[in-house]
Chains A and B, each alone.
Chain A
Amino acid sequence: MTDDPHGETHLDGNAAAGTLAELFTFDVTVAVGRCAGCGRVSTVADTRSYLDGPGMVVRCTGCDSVLLRVVSSPERTWLDLRGLAYLEVDHVTEG
């Protein structure tokens, strides 16, 4: 749990890992993304995630813009990535 200047309690992007692991075959928290709002480039771990709403919201640490949203019903999951300009994923290498 992290305190921010607004006195808020949110979790960092690692808290989103469980939900995102159901969608991606790679560890998304170490992927690097660019905020479509302010251009900040960071790992997904270095974000603010809000897990207490009707869905999960991951926001930019720099500007609070929404990077991604996940909503799950019992039957399916919806993922909105429009707040990410890109997501960079390293290939897994042997050795």
Chain B
Amino acid sequence: MGLISRGFTGRRREGAEDLPPGQYLTHDFPVLAAGPTQRVPTDDWKFTITTETGARHEWDWAAFTALPRDEVTVDLHCVTRWSKLHTDWEGVSLDTLLADVETSAHYALVESYGGYTTNLPLEDLTDGQAWVAFRYDGEDLDPEHGGPARLLVPHLYLWKSAKWVRGITLSDHDEPGFWESVGYHNYGDPWREQRYWE
């Protein structure tokens, strides 16, 4: 006797249960551009963390790639409404990069080659929430997707995961970045659908 019915649960679309509100699932990896693709040779690449006192911590490519690296599988949510699930990355955790950085700052301004910036609270970069990623899907990260290295902060909309990242400036005050200064939400939590200025 058929006591168990699936009829009341409805039929869910593939992956819909894993998507933030207003997002659709995509399987390719769209490239969004606010300017020309930066092509930074790793010989010239540097990553710098500058604290609120002006202290600088700098890595060249050799020093950066010698750091302990994480392999992570994360979901990406772009504010233009596509989401891509279970993406595989390799990168250095911001916890590792910040380990020897003395700071009491609350805010971070992320800066990229090419002039792009994005801002977020420093606490969103720590505790295993953010990486400077340099490999995607088992290969070196393409310049189109932000290589040689990009920020990866998957719990916020993807514009926060700055491509071609070159440094982070820590500060006591919050400074809106490239999109945050012209209509996009200052924080950008996809699960609360924080797309635009409120």
Would A6 and B37 be within 8 Å (CB), given that A54-B159, A78-B182, A80-B181 are in contact? yes
Option from A53, A79, A80 in Cβ contact (under 8 Å) with B33: A53
**Contacting residues, chain A, for B181 (C-beta < 8 A):** 80
A88 on interface, CB distance cutoff 8 Å: no
Q: Report the stretch among A12-20, A27-35, A39-47, A64-72 that lies at the interface.
A: A64-72
Interface members, chain B 160-191 (any A CB < 8 Å) = 178-179, 181-184
Chain B residue total in the interface (Cβ 8 A): 23
Interface members, chain B 75-125 (any A CB < 8 Å) = 78-80, 114-115
Smallest CB separation, B124 vs chain A (Å): 19
Say whether A69 contacts B182, CB under 8 Å.
yes
Say whether B197 contacts A78, CB under 8 Å.
yes
Most chain-B Cβ atoms within 10 A of its Cβ — which of A54, A55, A59?
Answer: A54
Say whether B184 contacts A59, CB under 8 Å.
no
A57 on interface, CB distance cutoff 8 Å: yes
- With both beta carbons as reference points, the residue of chain A lying nearest to B114 in the complex is identified as A64
Say whether A52 contacts B183, CB under 8 Å.
no
Contact with A along B34-55 (1 / 0, CB 8 A): 1111010000000000000000
B3 on interface, CB distance cutoff 8 Å: no
B32 on interface, CB distance cutoff 8 Å: yes
- With both beta carbons as reference points, the residue of chain B lying nearest to A10 in the complex is identified as B36
Say whether B33 contacts A54, CB under 8 Å.
no
**Contacting residues, chain A, for B178 (C-beta < 8 A):** 69
**Contacting residues, chain B, for A75 (C-beta < 8 A):** 196
**Contacting residues, chain B, for A69 (C-beta < 8 A):** 178, 182
Smallest CB separation, B184 vs chain A (Å): 6
**Contacting residues, chain B, for A65 (C-beta < 8 A):** 115
Would A54 and B36 be within 8 Å (CB), given that A73-B195, A73-B196 are in contact? no
Say whether A8 contacts B182, CB under 8 Å.
no
Option from B35, B37, B80 in Cβ contact (under 8 Å) with A54: B80
Say whether B35 contacts A52, CB under 8 Å.
no
A90 on interface, CB distance cutoff 8 Å: no
Smallest CB separation, A15 vs chain B (Å): 13
**Contacting residues, chain A, for B31 (C-beta < 8 A):** 52
Alpha-carbon distance A8/B38, docked complex (angstroms) = 10
Say whether B182 contacts A55, CB under 8 Å.
yes
**Contacting residues, chain A, for B33 (C-beta < 8 A):** 10, 50, 52-53
Option from B32, B79, B179, B196 in Cβ contact (under 8 Å) with A52: B32
7 A-B pairs with C-beta separation under 8 A: A8-B37, A10-B33, A50-B34, A54-B184, A55-B179, A77-B183, A78-B182
